[in-house]
Structure 1
Amino acid sequence: MQIRGLLADTRPLAVPAFRRLWIANIVTVVGAQLTVVAVPAQIYAMTGSSAYVGLTGVFGLVPLIAFGLWGGALADHMDRRLLLLVTTSGLIATSALFWVQAAAGWNDVWVLLGLFSVQQAFFAINQPTRTAILPKLVDSSLLPAAASLNMTVMQAGAIAGPLVAGVLIPFTGFAWLYLADTVCLLATLAAVISLPSLPVEGVTGTPGLRSVIEGLTYLAGQPVLLMSFVVDVIAMLFGMPRALFPEIAHVSFGGPDEGGLAFALLFAAIPAGAVIGGVLSGWVTRIERQGLAVVLSIVVWGLAITGFGLAAGAADGSAGFWLAVAVLMLAVGGAADMASAAFRQTMLLAAASDQVRGRLQGVFIVVVAGGPRLADVAHGGAAAVVGASVAAAGGGVLTVVGVVVAALAVPAFVRYRVARTA
């Protein structure tokens, strides 16, 4: 019984609509990760330039922010099933066009970047909508479990997709990966078609700039919800050291310049920890004080990143024991981040009214996507001054200090609680 209570709470899978979407997402996430890997790899193969590869950040982030906010407004003003049908079809169409350009051998980097930008726009509308419908599919007591199940699949895909793509590209080329993504997306389309109509309760106004501003104004007036974003920004800005992985893998653990085992292990460690945390997430449904749980999860994340930086600093150019410690620290951080994200997602869904859930999820996707990119800049600059291992360890310390200060500044967030479920 104790083991069963520790394992992931699978009760949301008893709901047919949620189960169909979740199972379809397993297939779709892996397919999507194939494209995530294939796009920069194809650009580098075309140009031989990391600068062009870096443009994927701009071409991806700009539509993600713009359409994430606007997509959230759309999700609060129209039938969410219809919006999912449109955006899922758009994702299928863009994946098919990726396949066409690769199969036809166009070798035009600007076509590829343009398609990537359009795809991210559809994704930015689709993802907030998918999350906003959760309270309509499962009981509020099951929202933490549903969020954990969804995030576990996302993180598993972040491991499996790149590994599969890395193995297949030399043998199949890029076209077959894009085609696989296109076919995988059909599973999600079938699951969306089976959903009932999902109109928004009490919808008013039109989904324009005013609606976006109204959503942000609502968020500003809800200190608990606002703090769920603030603490995530703190955790990501100070505590996400992924930009340092190449240097640490090479300098601290003696890996080759172009990558190698240490490099791969560092990149896989956080999502691997998140998957393990998801599998062992049975406890999240039983937590009453979700605000305090978020704060403690981020403290664990910060301490784990500090441990990672210290291990990198102690390695002194040799792999072995300290590499294992560093990977373990990142995995612990990944598990803590999964728990924090599950609780924050639950708070956004349960504490907000249905009229603004889409817009809040739009803000969520912007923060989740933008935070690590800001962290890349901050950590890269800090590493140039103090070194990579010190930058990583110091970032972990700043994460702990920052989240504690934020918790003390807004005690209502720490006090936030929900009724305990069995």
Structure 2
Amino acid sequence: MLADITPLREHPDFRRLWCGNTVSYLGQQMTAMAVALQVYAITGSSFYVGLVGLCSLVPLIVFGLYGGAVADVVDRRRLGLVSAFGATLLSGALAAVAIADLRYVGVLYAIVALQAVCFAMNSPARSAMIPRLLSAEQLPAANALASLAGGVGQMAGPMLGGVFVGLWGYQAAYLIDVAAFTASLYAMWRLPAMLPGDGEAGDEGTGDEATGAGKGAVGGAARNGNGGARTGGTATVRRRPSVLEGLRYLASRPNLRTTFVSDLCAMVLAQPRVLFPAVAGLWYGGGTRTVGLLAAAPAVGALLGSVFSGWLGRVRRQGFAVLVAVGSWGAAVAVFGLTRDLLLGLLFLAVAGCADTISMVFRNTMLQAAAPDDMRGRLQGVFLVVVVGGPRLGDFLAGSAADLFSPAAAVVGGGLACIAAIVLVGVLQRGFASYTARRPVA
């Protein structure tokens, strides 16, 4: 039942990459907390703190798609190194601003936006590397381990950031982030070249690929999905990045397209987090501590889902598993909206978080296994945009519904709408429910 650590045990490249990403993500979360605290200390306004999130959201959405396109035409290892090094320099710039005691929030906003650009360029490339390092059978375990690292970072990073800021000032968190980035840079540096399409033996229509194609066997002639010229072993692909080409490919592949639609069903229709401040007082008679508990409950459930994820690798009908997980998210949110007992409410929010982790593991696995290598970057870019943008749209929808009706109606109605939507998706896309890991078809 515990998380399958076989990918870490058997593949040194993946082990270094996972450890480096875990450490660097922890540093990023510390930096995010330190920036929020610094902006509030300068302005005394929660509004200006909220603008920090907007400054990162817009670049992530805009450059997420472009970063995925770039990752499909260049050496992904090199792109990962350059973007991670840029983020490192920007954390150093935040430390310099703090040490110099520059009290200009515009400078902080600009650095945060540039960091988001670096992350948007780095994330698709890094995710597209994973199927080149592992066999298809190990992808669910790898994605569960990635979720575990993310959960630890989200829970421990802000807490450590607050502690270090309190002890040694904002620059302490930023400088620790700079040091943490070196782990990711070292892991990237040790990887072989990662030219898109190298070593791929599968057919683009089925998504079948040679097992272990990416275990360091790069270079040599490879298929170039659009006829662009490339010489084996070089780090340059003579093709222009095309976002539209990736979107056209996604539109023609029903199973891959449905992975995104199913996530939007959950994140847009049944996203209750924006209502936590209201329901904490109205339902439970609590204050800010209750809001904190409500916000932490899904993260705790997601972390537990990752810790006890060993069984996920034995699931073959991954499309059906996604439908069940999304439906479970909607059901848990709906029941949360009906209960007025705090402990029960926290329990069902934790169940929702666990269901979301299971959905994420299988959706990402399907993207990695069913898509051809020279499309994985663009699909991971779309994945990033959906993951970042979907919950924000859900916040707007839930807040609007709560104002029009009531918080209870917004939460319960959103959960039921999610269930109805995912059932409709399963009916309209019957092939998705029968998708199997034994024969990944896009």
TM-score (norm: length of structure 2): 0.88
Query: Is contact 1:273-1:332 (8 Å) kept?
Result: yes
Structure 2 partner of 1:60 = 56
Letter in 1 for 2:181: L
Q: Per-residue displacement from partner, 1:103-146 (whole Å, max 9, x unpaired)?
A: 11111111100100000000011111111001110011101110
Question: What are the within-5 Å matches in structure 2 for residues 136-215 of structure 1?
Answer: 136-201=132-197, 202-203=223-224, 204=226, 205=228, 211-215=242-246
What 5-or-longer segments of structure 2 have no aligned partner? 198-222, 229-237
Of the candidates 5, 12, 24, which is equivalent to residue 7 of structure 2? 12
Query: Is contact 1:147-1:346 (8 Å) kept?
Result: yes
Q: Per-residue displacement from partner, 1:37-72 (whole Å, max 9, x unpaired)?
A: 222222122112222222223311221112111110
Aligned residues: 402
Q: Does residue 28 of the first structure (1) align with residue 56 of the second (2)?
A: no
**Matched residues in 2 for 1:351 and 1:100: separation?**
45
Query: Is contact 1:293-1:343 (8 Å) kept?
Result: yes
**Matched residues in 2 for 1:383 and 1:169: separation?**
36
**Matched residues in 1 for 2:7 and 2:312: separation?**
13
Summarize the Cα distance change of 1:45–1:240 in structure 2 as closer, same or farther, 3 Å threshold: same
Structure with the larger helix share: 1
Query: Is contact 1:308-1:330 (8 Å) kept?
Result: yes
Q: Per-residue displacement from partner, 1:68-112 (whole Å, max 9, x unpaired)?
A: 111101110011111111011011011111111111111111110
Deviation at 1:208, TM superposition (A): 5.0
Structure 1 partner of 2:310 = 282
Of the candidates 423, 430, 434, which is equivalent to residue 404 of structure 1? 423
Structure 1 partner of 2:357 = 338
Of the candidates 99, 103, 106, which is equivalent to residue 103 of structure 1? 99
Structure 2 partner of 1:39 = 35
**Matched residues in 2 for 1:38 and 1:254: separation?**
30
Letter in 1 for 2:392: R
What 5-or-longer segments of structure 1 have no aligned partner? 1-5, 315-321
Query: Is contact 1:74-1:207 (8 Å) kept?
Result: no
Summarize the Cα distance change of 1:389–1:39 in structure 2 as closer, same or farther, 3 Å threshold: farther
Query: Is contact 2:165-2:171 (8 Å) kept?
Result: no
Deviation at 1:207, TM superposition (A): 6.3
Q: Does residue 222 of the first structure (1) align with residue 250 of the second (2)?
A: no
Deviation at 1:247, TM superposition (A): 1.6
Query: Is contact 1:72-1:129 (8 Å) kept?
Result: yes
Structure 2 partner of 1:384 = 403
Of the candidates 266, 277, 282, which is equivalent to residue 235 of structure 1? 266
**Matched residues in 2 for 1:189 and 1:250: separation?**
45
Deviation at 1:387, TM superposition (A): 2.1
Structure 1 segments, 4+ long, off by >6 Å, are: none
Deviation at 1:352, TM superposition (A): 0.4
Deviation at 1:394, TM superposition (A): 1.5
Two-structure CA RMSD over aligned residues (Å): 1.4
Letter in 1 for 2:7: P
% identical equivalent positions: 44
Query: Is contact 1:70-1:207 (8 Å) kept?
Result: no
TM-score (norm: length of structure 1): 0.92
Of the candidates 362, 367, 371, which is equivalent to residue 381 of structure 2? 362
SS of residue paired to 1:417: coil
**Matched residues in 2 for 1:133 and 1:184: separation?**
21
Query: Is contact 2:73-2:240 (8 Å) kept?
Result: no
